[in-house]
Chains A and B, each alone.
Chain A
Amino acid sequence: MKKCLLFIFLLCLGLTQVQAQRRTLTGLVKEKASGEPLPGVTVQERGTTNGTVTDSSGEFQLEVETGATLIFSFIGMEPVERRTGESNRIDVILETATEQVDEVVVTAMGIRKEKKALGYAVQDIGSEEIVRNKSANVVNALSGKIAGVSVTQSNGSAGSGAQIIVRGGTSLERDNQPLFVVDGVIYDNSTPIGGNSGFDGATRNSTTFGNRAMDINPEDIENMSILKGPAATALYGSRAAAGVILITTKKGQEGDVMVNVSSKFTASWVNRYPEQQDRYKRGFYNSAGVFSDFTTQSWGDPFGSGDVMYNNIEDFFQNGSTWDNSVNISGGNKNGTFFLSASRFDQEGIIPETGFEKSTFRFNGDQKFGMLTVGANVAYSVSGTDKTLTSSGLWGAGGNGAMTAVYGWARSENMKKYLNEDGTKYRMFEGRQPLADDVENPYWIINRNKLDDQTNRFTGSTFVNLDIADWFKISYRLGYDNYTKNDYTFIAPGGAVSETYQNGRLSESDVTYEYLSSNLMLTFNKKVADFDFNLLLGHSAEDTKTATQRRTGYNFITPGVYSFENIGNEDKFFQSVHSQKRLMGVFSEFRAAYKSIAYLTVTGRNDWTSTLPDNENSYFYPSVSGSFVFTELLPEQHAVSFGKLRASWAKVGKDTDPYVTTTSIWAPREFLGGIGVGNSWTRGNPYLKPEQTKSVELGLEMRFLGGRLGFDYTYYSNNSSDQIVTPRLSQTTGYILLSTNVGNVINKGMELSINATPVMTKNLTWDLNLNLSGNRGTVENLLTGQEVLYVTDVQVGNAKAASFNNGKFMGISGSQWSRDESGNLILDKNTGMPTSNNSTTNYLGNREPVFSGGLNNEFKWKNWSLSVLFDIRIGGDIFNGTDYLMTQAGMSKRSLDRESLTLAGVVAVGKDTDGNPVYEPASFTYQTGQSYDITTSSGAVQRRYGNDIIREYWSTYYPLETANFITKTNWLRLRSMSLSYNLPKDFFGTRNVFKAMSVTVSGTNLWLLTNYKGMDPETSVAGSGVVGSGSSGIDYAGVPATAGVSLGVNMTF
């Protein structure tokens, strides 16, 4: 990077005049870290305009007055002052600046800017940080490290996706994940689901799906820059309301060819299991007190001394292991560079028979021909996941997922027994119920059924840069992103699924994504006196096509051969779905800078989209931002070394999906009356407008004590209006869904990061970085009568992920027990059970944390370095759907309390003169082993057994108070820790094959302190890619999260 800056710096330097001769000094400037000579360093005589720069070998020569002080400065390095003495030679070593005043970051459209010129917050992380605790999913590298960025891992299964949200979601019902841009080309990070609930039963929470940013090899990344607010992303227009993650991959450096090899082994295990009861066996007592074992639930007798108790949950999981190897070769000369890499990631999951594997290849190269530079970035990856059905079976096909069964399996049963001695299927209720009604044994599911996916992806761009003059440049980039994901789902014959599929079922789907972009930019700059002007003009065009081909079939004719060819034509179905959208934009950015004091940026972009109606498809997005470095006006001092105020205003937006402006009709079907067609249940809307997000952002950045301590504070307020939502409607409209513009999402928040270097000695440095952020997402102006918007994929029992009108964006809705005005429980006067109205629309919690953050500590001692990252979350509700499931099954620890049940509250005893109910206190107690006469309101008397009443309380009445399963969750976790040792240069003696070598031991998720009972609270039932307020904060029978340790070696030669 520094060498890139050299060129810019030389341009900026302008003319240097040689003063009256005194004497000529020579010298060499080196960089401390590498020991290499440093070209391009400014050498200036203090108080004069006399100066020069070091040449390509780091040497300089300058005539100065005797006794003059020389200032050596270079972007990103601590400036050094030296008084000249007797000697004619001065050698200087520059260190990386702790106070990176002139730090350069990558901003929208890949433009590198000085950080102090920015009127908005941008944070970036470099390759070292990305690789330190690398996982297969590059999104995880941001976890806990960037203020305002929240990353939620779906679950602990191999190859599962992670969701990333920047500053809260801006859309009620669209994907709120930021745009990914890799080397200037938009990179798809969707989470494609090959199948479809209506076609082959595939749903988001039926198995594991990965987000496609996983196709990037983290080792290839040089830098990730996070553009958080609309002002930062305005140049991307309608694609960037949710923020942008800019990824720059590595390129070769001028010099020797370098080879870098790294290898890492990771062992992982479940970090937390759900709590399960350890006292009761399978079975239940009915109302007459008759025991029955005709249930999978655990409402039976206590374990006796001779009974075996199984730990089915812990036995089911295994330790996972991962091999992660990568190699890259890079090099270059004055006119060209290249970077070649390959990697292989091979993971065995914590569930037997599951895993994830990925191979990647990359070539980056560029070549200069005079003022012309051409180059290419090309990557290819193949990844695959072996997975299992998780929290539900396939929709419409009956059956259950492995994980729901694991958590509910009675401990008096050996879950491992899924086959009889003779190899046939073992069924708990053979002859007592149809196969379709069975709860499928998880071992059957993982051993017989087969689910996998494979993705082949090619991404690439070619670019041309023309440096016409030092004030005028042109660059053009053609980008391409193409992948095909194949999903394969095989349900073995004999499964506990609906009759139709009991002879086996096979589904395959191929999702093809193809994206082509063209981007032209012209940049001009001009310096007038103390002003620096910069103008950018650009044009971009994008074409995105997707196609999904699905096949499904059932009834294999010849047993043992599971192929479509072995299925009769009448049992085979296919579906073929396509979509295309196009977007064109022209954009411009104007920048003005006054000295190093004040900066102003104005941008504008106009987009035309294919997806909106003709009269609404053109829209303009402006932004203005500025920064003011007020310390430049103060006398130079050590205590307050840097201070900057920044402010921005911007408007960006989102268009919509293809084909939502018209109502389509269903594929034809054959009825008694012949071939018939009918309207889709989604109503088209020819009046749609783009969504708009308006944003204001203010910030203050200060550094003290020569940069040893600093903070960066941001306040923002985003208002996203004209939300394109497809709400579920009263079906009396004739439709289930309709796309329309309604509602505002308002996000307000603060971000604070504090950097400090408490210790900096010759051998030991300790850097710490604390970042904290809090976002408040709220919703306004929804349709009257539609006070709640649900996330379709995220509904567990009565609990749903929901956004409330004039309320929280990330709410949880559910049902409640009825209470009187003083808050007493209203009990049924006959049974004593809590009563409930039937409404499940009550606001019961907010999944958004009060604040969250990360604390990163880095210690360097000689060749050792230790990095410790904590992450913290305070507040934010989580619905424990796993415990809800286990409570109903009699497996939860909370249902241990079942020998006796006392319910206290009030009962209605009549009505007052106004017709309002009158309540009296009442209390009911039920004991196991006893029977009770319960009068019904019709006067009949029913005799009921205590065990039956208590079971019914736990499985039916207790869950009616959804809040019983909601926890306001705090956590402090040791997100990652790594210790590495860089072998000294002379370690290998004089036959120095290695340029560098390091060994790293690291751990992830090793420690977690939380008030949440159950599995790791960082979970989201439906994984990445869920729209709207997402599924984070809803825990339902997911694969438990993992902890792990790894050992890695990194060699450069």
Chain B
Amino acid sequence: MNFIMEKIKYISLIVVLAWSFSSCKEWLDVNENPDYPTNEVAAVSSRLPWIQHHYGYAYGAASTRAAMITGTISSRLFTGNNGLLPAWNPTNSASVTPYQHWFVGSAANLEDLRVKAEAEEAWHYLGAAYTIRAMGFMLMVDWYGEMPYEEALSSVLTPAYSDGKTIFEGCLADLETALEYFQMTQPSSATPLSEGDSWNNGDVQKWIRLVYGLKARWLNNLSKKQEYDPDAVLAALSNAPQSNAEGTIINHVNDPSDMTGDVLIGDPLKTSYIFNTAAWSDWARFTRWYVDLLENTFPGGSGIEDPRASKMLPSNQHWDRTNGVYTPRFIRTKGVDAIHSNIRLQNGPIISNYTTGSKSYSVNSTDPARKGDTIYVNIRALCGMTGATTEESTYTDADGTILSTGTFYTRPESPTDVITYHEMCFIKAEVLFRKGDKGGALAAYQEGIRAHMEQMNSKLREYAGSVNPGKQPMDETVVEDFLGSAAVAQNVSELTMSKIMQQKYIAMSFTQQNWNDMRRFNFSAGNIGDFGVVYTDFDRPMEFSSDAARKMPGASKNEVNYWFRRMMQCSHEVNYNSANMEASNPKAFADDIWSVPVWWDEEN
């Protein structure tokens, strides 16, 4: 009997053990991630830096690619995006980054930001969110033409596409919503916009200027359309930035401890996006076409050098040896003539090496055609991730020789222009020119050039103390001399649309808007209005191949599909949203989708 009692003890022990495990619901309640908070808890002030950065990166990556397409830079590479885009032989791997940074990096956070901001009545964050939403989707229109918009960022897993017009109009409507929020007063309990806003440090008035500036830019991009309303553009301009100080510019820094990297690509988080995408390593080379713009050496140019040339083009340091003494001097890059010469077809340009011992540059090639490639200076600069140990970004050799001065827009600490006064001036010049107000156009054009130079100088002055000559301000008398020279239209009879747009191109180097503008004027076709050839001397690159001709099959400049007019949808859309993509455009999968105009670029 005792024995059995003992058994019962065992049995009850086991049963108790089992039941102690089974008091169920609480025991199972372990599905809260101990390492990562959920999307519901992030504060508006911590969302905004993330949203701004990833939108900025999308715009910057698009802009660097646009700089290859529009002939600012070419490349010493022949494969990969940085080799194929300058050849106008694109593949859709080039179209991933802006799309991904916009949607996954930035836009996915907008709804969570909205919910939090509404809860605490942080209206200005809503203003910023609507502004950035409009900017992101407008970039999608500029790049891809069509994109999921109404069904994007929703619970729909395969979102249908919206056409360009719908998105364009939606973006303008978002700007109106943004204005309403910016004009509201936040309760004091709400988080002030200054927390987390790196664009305008929470200055709501500047945000309002920004919104009007965007409106002016976009309304002006309709110049091919019947909807085009010059007066509406001018109305927007009147509320847009009226001085350099009222523009929105992202002031990047070269922080050597900026090593964490973003989650999508791993690039640093404070450096300029153009640096990240164009000057991270040694591949980019300026083109002859762009150098001509700055040196005014294009056909019909004045030949007078623009003072910005030595700031916007790289030089490298050379050593002259006399009697065993080395004296340094800087030599500015020559432009790679991708349009008129066969250099790219001759495997050039190739990399140039600096040898410390002889303090000289050379190329490692037996090909006589390549011997002279040392004249092309790279634009590499250094950040923490690529070896900078201080804030100085200049790319130097071990002996201190400056291998590249870098350029104004391609350093880690370079500014990113979001909306600037000089862009407003050039828009105004264009609109007034179209309206026949040549005098007003001339004044705006001249003001635009001056404003850009002043803007540059104020940034260059911040670099005081740098040994890099590319980082020293322009001499003001040289600036004044140039502004009064034959390089700049001095009277209405000299002013042409070409002159306006050439100056706008320089002032807006490395921006997506330059590609937009070129498309609006059909590049160098000369068939828009009576403006003549606007982008003088521009053409498809000489290396334009039979493969590229499938993508842009036009045989003459007058044909719409002669030109590079959009990006094909990227592989994520091809693979994961193919049915909708197919319905988005009759040519969505066709080889020549690259030369199909986006909505605002279509004449109607």
**Chain A residues near B (Cβ < 8 Å):** 198, 286-288, 290, 292, 294, 370-372, 396, 429-434, 436, 464, 466, 468, 474, 476, 499-500, 518, 520, 539, 541, 570-571, 573, 576-582, 584, 608-611, 614, 617, 658-659, 661-681, 684, 727-736, 738, 740, 783-788, 790, 828, 830-831, 835, 837-841, 934-940, 942
- From B37, B108, B196, B574, A676 is in contact (CB under 8 Å) with B196
- In chain B between 538 and 555, which residues have their CB closer than 8 angstroms to a CB of chain A? 540, 544-547, 549-550, 553-555
5 inter-chain pairs at a CB distance below 8 angstroms, sorted by A residue, are A290-B346, A659-B33, A730-B577, A838-B591, A938-B544
Whether A681 and B104, one on each chain, are in contact in the complex, defined by CB atoms closer than 8 angstroms, is yes
Closest 7 CB pairs of A and B: A734-B108, A676-B49, A673-B49, A673-B198, A730-B577, A785-B158, A678-B50
Residues of B within 8 A of A290 (CB): 346-347, 367
Closest CB-CB distance, A472 to chain B, in whole Å?
Answer: 10
Nearest neighbor of A669 in chain B, beta-carbon distance: B260
- In chain B between 187 and 204, which residues have their CB closer than 8 angstroms to a CB of chain A? 195-199
Whether A733 and B578, one on each chain, are in contact in the complex, defined by CB atoms closer than 8 angstroms, is no
A433 CA to B364 CA in the complex, in Å? 9
Whether B385 and A500, one on each chain, are in contact in the complex, defined by CB atoms closer than 8 angstroms, is yes
Nearest neighbor of A370 in chain B, beta-carbon distance: B3
Whether A287 and B36, one on each chain, are in contact in the complex, defined by CB atoms closer than 8 angstroms, is no
- From A432, A734, A783, B365 is in contact (CB under 8 Å) with A432
Q: Given A837-B589, A936-B549, are A731 and B49 also a contact pair (CB < 8 Å)?
A: no
Residues of A within 8 A of B577 (CB): 729-730, 732, 785-786
- From B25, B39, B104, B568, A662 is in contact (CB under 8 Å) with B39
Q: Given A571-B259, A672-B253, are A662 and B38 also a contact pair (CB < 8 Å)?
A: yes
Q: Given A671-B270, A731-B103, A828-B550, are A539 and B18 also a contact pair (CB < 8 Å)?
A: yes
Residues of B within 8 A of A608 (CB): 24, 28
A286 CA to B342 CA in the complex, in Å? 13
Whether A292 and B36, one on each chain, are in contact in the complex, defined by CB atoms closer than 8 angstroms, is no
Nearest neighbor of B199 in chain A, beta-carbon distance: A673
A753 CA to B547 CA in the complex, in Å? 56
A571 CA to B384 CA in the complex, in Å? 10
Nearest neighbor of B255 in chain A, beta-carbon distance: A670
A738 CA to B153 CA in the complex, in Å? 13
Closest CB-CB distance, B148 to chain A, in whole Å?
Answer: 4
Q: Given A432-B365, A937-B553, are A734 and B153 also a contact pair (CB < 8 Å)?
A: yes
Whether B345 and A433, one on each chain, are in contact in the complex, defined by CB atoms closer than 8 angstroms, is no
Whether B159 and A679, one on each chain, are in contact in the complex, defined by CB atoms closer than 8 angstroms, is no
Nearest neighbor of B263 in chain A, beta-carbon distance: A666
B234 within 8 A of A: no
B184 within 8 A of A: no
Whether A678 and B54, one on each chain, are in contact in the complex, defined by CB atoms closer than 8 angstroms, is yes
Whether A677 and B269, one on each chain, are in contact in the complex, defined by CB atoms closer than 8 angstroms, is no
B176 within 8 A of A: no
> Which of B25, B42, B250 has the largest count of A CB atoms less than 10 A from its CB?
B42
Q: Given A661-B31, A672-B251, are A729 and B544 also a contact pair (CB < 8 Å)?
A: no
B46 within 8 A of A: yes
Whether A938 and B157, one on each chain, are in contact in the complex, defined by CB atoms closer than 8 angstroms, is no
- From B28, B157, B384, B591, A729 is in contact (CB under 8 Å) with B157
Nearest neighbor of B29 in chain A, beta-carbon distance: A610
Q: Given A432-B364, A663-B38, A786-B157, are A673 and B48 also a contact pair (CB < 8 Å)?
A: yes
Nearest neighbor of A586 in chain B, beta-carbon distance: B22
Closest CB-CB distance, A517 to chain B, in whole Å?
Answer: 10
Whether B39 and A938, one on each chain, are in contact in the complex, defined by CB atoms closer than 8 angstroms, is no
A interface SS class: loop
Whether B18 and A729, one on each chain, are in contact in the complex, defined by CB atoms closer than 8 angstroms, is no
Q: Given A431-B353, A831-B546, are A679 and B108 also a contact pair (CB < 8 Å)?
A: yes
B277 within 8 A of A: no
A734 CA to B53 CA in the complex, in Å? 16
- From A198, A576, A674, A676, B35 is in contact (CB under 8 Å) with A576
Whether A662 and B367, one on each chain, are in contact in the complex, defined by CB atoms closer than 8 angstroms, is no
Residues of A within 8 A of B53 (CB): 671-673, 676
- In chain B between 250 and 264, which residues have their CB closer than 8 angstroms to a CB of chain A? 250-253, 256-260, 262-264
B238 within 8 A of A: no
A430 CA to B355 CA in the complex, in Å? 12
Q: Given A464-B10, A671-B269, A678-B108, are A732 and B148 also a contact pair (CB < 8 Å)?
A: yes
Residues of B within 8 A of A788 (CB): 575
Closest CB-CB distance, B190 to chain A, in whole Å?
Answer: 17
Whether B196 and A729, one on each chain, are in contact in the complex, defined by CB atoms closer than 8 angstroms, is no
Whether B367 and A838, one on each chain, are in contact in the complex, defined by CB atoms closer than 8 angstroms, is no
Whether A674 and B49, one on each chain, are in contact in the complex, defined by CB atoms closer than 8 angstroms, is yes
- From A670, A673, A733, A790, B197 is in contact (CB under 8 Å) with A673
Residues of A within 8 A of B266 (CB): 198, 396
Whether B112 and A679, one on each chain, are in contact in the complex, defined by CB atoms closer than 8 angstroms, is yes
Whether B252 and A672, one on each chain, are in contact in the complex, defined by CB atoms closer than 8 angstroms, is yes
Given contact pairs A432-B353, A570-B257, a sample of 11 additional A-B residue pairs in the complex whose CB atoms are under 8 Å apart: A433-B351, A466-B10, A658-B30, A665-B37, A671-B270, A672-B52, A729-B157, A730-B573, A787-B578, A831-B547, A840-B571
Nearest neighbor of A934 in chain B, beta-carbon distance: B546
Whether A938 and B33, one on each chain, are in contact in the complex, defined by CB atoms closer than 8 angstroms, is no
B359 within 8 A of A: no
Residues of A within 8 A of B92 (CB): 838
Whether B35 and A577, one on each chain, are in contact in the complex, defined by CB atoms closer than 8 angstroms, is yes
Nearest neighbor of B14 in chain A, beta-carbon distance: A476
B325 within 8 A of A: no
B7 within 8 A of A: yes
Closest CB-CB distance, A71 to chain B, in whole Å?
Answer: 39
Whether B28 and A584, one on each chain, are in contact in the complex, defined by CB atoms closer than 8 angstroms, is yes
A433 CA to B351 CA in the complex, in Å? 7
A466 CA to B156 CA in the complex, in Å? 57
B576 within 8 A of A: yes
Closest CB-CB distance, B420 to chain A, in whole Å?
Answer: 18
Whether B33 and A662, one on each chain, are in contact in the complex, defined by CB atoms closer than 8 angstroms, is yes
Nearest neighbor of B46 in chain A, beta-carbon distance: A677
**Digit string of B547-589 for contact with A (CB within 8 Å is 1, else 0)?**
1011001110000001000001001111111111000000001
> Which of B264, B365, B547 has the largest count of A CB atoms less than 10 A from its CB?
B547
A673 CA to B56 CA in the complex, in Å? 12
- In chain B between 335 and 365, which residues have their CB closer than 8 angstroms to a CB of chain A? 345-347, 350-351, 353, 364-365
- From B159, B270, B385, B589, A730 is in contact (CB under 8 Å) with B159
Residues of A within 8 A of B545 (CB): 936, 942
- In chain B between 34 and 78, which residues have their CB closer than 8 angstroms to a CB of chain A? 34-39, 41-42, 45-54
Q: Given A433-B351, A734-B153, A841-B574, are A785 and B47 also a contact pair (CB < 8 Å)?
A: no
Closest CB-CB distance, B594 to chain A, in whole Å?
Answer: 11
Residues of B within 8 A of A729 (CB): 157-158, 572, 576-577
Closest CB-CB distance, A405 to chain B, in whole Å?
Answer: 18
Residues of B within 8 A of A668 (CB): 46
Whether A518 and B17, one on each chain, are in contact in the complex, defined by CB atoms closer than 8 angstroms, is yes
A673 CA to B553 CA in the complex, in Å? 45
> Which of B25, B54, B546, B591 has the largest count of A CB atoms less than 10 A from its CB?
B546
Whether A731 and B99, one on each chain, are in contact in the complex, defined by CB atoms closer than 8 angstroms, is yes
Residues of A within 8 A of B51 (CB): 678
A371 CA to B100 CA in the complex, in Å? 67
**Digit string of B159-202 for contact with A (CB within 8 Å is 1, else 0)?**
10000000000000000000000000000000000011111000
Whether B568 and A838, one on each chain, are in contact in the complex, defined by CB atoms closer than 8 angstroms, is yes
A664 CA to B282 CA in the complex, in Å? 38
Nearest neighbor of A662 in chain B, beta-carbon distance: B38
Whether A936 and B544, one on each chain, are in contact in the complex, defined by CB atoms closer than 8 angstroms, is yes
B387 within 8 A of A: yes
Residues of B within 8 A of A396 (CB): 266
A433 CA to B353 CA in the complex, in Å? 9
**Digit string of B76-89 for contact with A (CB within 8 Å is 1, else 0)?**
00000000000000
Whether A839 and B11, one on each chain, are in contact in the complex, defined by CB atoms closer than 8 angstroms, is no
> Which of A581, A609, A617, A681 has the largest count of B CB atoms less than 10 A from its CB?
A681
A17 CA to B64 CA in the complex, in Å? 99
Whether A784 and B555, one on each chain, are in contact in the complex, defined by CB atoms closer than 8 angstroms, is no
Closest CB-CB distance, B156 to chain A, in whole Å?
Answer: 7
Residues of B within 8 A of A935 (CB): 546
